[in-house]
Amino acid sequence: MAKKKVAVIFGGKSSEHDVSNVSAAHVIRSIPKDEFEVICIGITKKGHWVRFIGSVDDIASGAWERDSDNVPCIMSPDPLHKGFILLEADGTYATLKADVVFPVLHGKNGEDGTIQGLFAMSEVPFVGCDMISSANCMDKELTHIVLGSSGVKMAKYISMRYSDISKVDEFIAKAESELTYPMFVKPCCAGSSVGVSRCTNAAELKEGIKKAFLSDRKLLIEQGVNGIECECAVMGNDDPFASAVGEIKSANVGFYDFDSKYNDASSETIIPAAISETASQRIRETAVRAYKLMGCSGLSRVDFFLCDGDEPVLNEINTLPGHTPISMYPKLMEHEGIPFEEQERRLIELALENSD
């Protein structure tokens, strides 16, 4: 039987470009080569798409962007092509079909539903959540609205749009009347804690608002939550399952920011988390419930704070979690007895199942 062609897409214009490269290299190495043929599609920091045929090591290092053998390409939205159009140097073009797409992208245009809409138009099956669930999970305010209205516990918050920037002092007063410090200012649609500020007074709040608006035109001001930072991996379509709970111990006493996640060797992950069985079960049940409520499929990582009384407070849902060798999602699944290679096989199978 012919091998199915899996197009792994990586890179992108977001601030998480380098993380995507490392994740993609790990994914490509782990996809079972006896079952699948891998096609490598890179998106440069400027947003140009290329087919890359060099070494996986060059993907991890980022050197792939400078490879002279790169062939410019686009993904065709026409279902007739079922994949990519290669733009050859002599002005001709060729088509490159894919049986499934495995996006290893983070942040804007990667996990916000944008590229998922393109996949849907092309009618090529793809790993992960669909366009609508990706967009809703990326938007922190919409996540609050959907889950909060369904009884899932989340932090108290207020939202603000850039069009209201002239009223910033009013919003700060509103935040101080409804919430207590510390507060966290977050761009509504950014990943990996990009643009997030921990604020302990009005001056810091104003600076945090300015910073967040550099990343998005809508933000949240959230009540700080005092609890153990926990994460849970979920996999599946209609009948998803949740992994054991992992705990994060960050040397950054403020919060688990971008540097803590990717650059700080002193940050520690504990699997399984040092919490009670009751707390673990509550987190796992809430993770699956939130996954279903948000319409997720394939995979997601659901992040929580575990507060006094073993009460889980949901922080966010990450629909395309990192797949680096130290990322929490694959480590949690490995703890469940699912090695990385088997994880990739299952995710590809779930994508194909979703297209039936």
Task: Dump pLDDT digits (tens) for 135-155.
Answer: 999 999 999 999 999 999 999
Please give the pLDDT value at position 68: 96
Same structural domain, 236 and 334: yes
Same structural domain, 193 and 285: no
Please give the pLDDT value at position 99: 98
Please give the pLDDT value at position 1: 77
Lowest mean pLDDT among 51-60, 181-190, 234-243, 283-292: 181-190
**How far, in Å, CA of 300 to CA of 129, rounded?**
8
Residues 294-306: pLDDT tens digits?
A: 999 999 999 999 9
Neighbours of 148 (CB within 10 A): 15
Please give the pLDDT value at position 55: 98
Residues 161-212: pLDDT tens digits?
A: 999 999 999 999 999 999 999 999 999 987 667 789 999 999 999 999 999 9
Average pLDDT on 116-135 reads: 98
341 in any annotated domain = yes
Q: What is the CATH number of the domain that holds 171?
A: 3.30.1490.20
Q: Is the pLDDT of residue 254 over 70?
A: no
Same structural domain, 334 and 266: yes
Same structural domain, 105 and 254: no
Among residues 203, 223, 243, the one where a domain terminates is: 223
Same structural domain, 349 and 250: yes
Same structural domain, 242 and 264: yes
Let me know how long the chain is. Answer: 356
Same structural domain, 268 and 309: yes
204 in any annotated domain = yes
- Report the mean per-residue pLDDT for the chain: 94
131 in any annotated domain = no
Phi, psi of 308 (to 5 degrees): -55, 145
Q: Tokens in use for 161?
A: 């749009």
Q: Is the pLDDT of residue 259 over 60?
A: no
Same structural domain, 245 and 213: no
Contacts of 29 (CB under 8 A, 6+ apart): 56
Contacts of 145 (CB under 8 A, 6+ apart): none
Lowest mean pLDDT among 86-90, 124-128, 228-232: 86-90
Q: Is the pLDDT of residue 256 over 60?
A: no
Q: What is the CATH number of the domain that holds 258?
A: 3.30.470.20
Q: Is the pLDDT of residue 277 over 70?
A: yes
Average pLDDT on 37-44 reads: 98
Please give the pLDDT value at position 94: 97
Average pLDDT on 256-266 reads: 53
How many structural domains compose the chain?
3
Same structural domain, 185 and 72: no
Q: Is the pLDDT of residue 262 over 90?
A: no
Same structural domain, 63 and 210: no
What is the domain range of residue 87?
Answer: 4-126
Residue 15's pLDDT band (boundaries 50, 70, 90)?
A: confident
Same structural domain, 69 and 176: no
Residue 38's pLDDT band (boundaries 50, 70, 90)?
A: very high
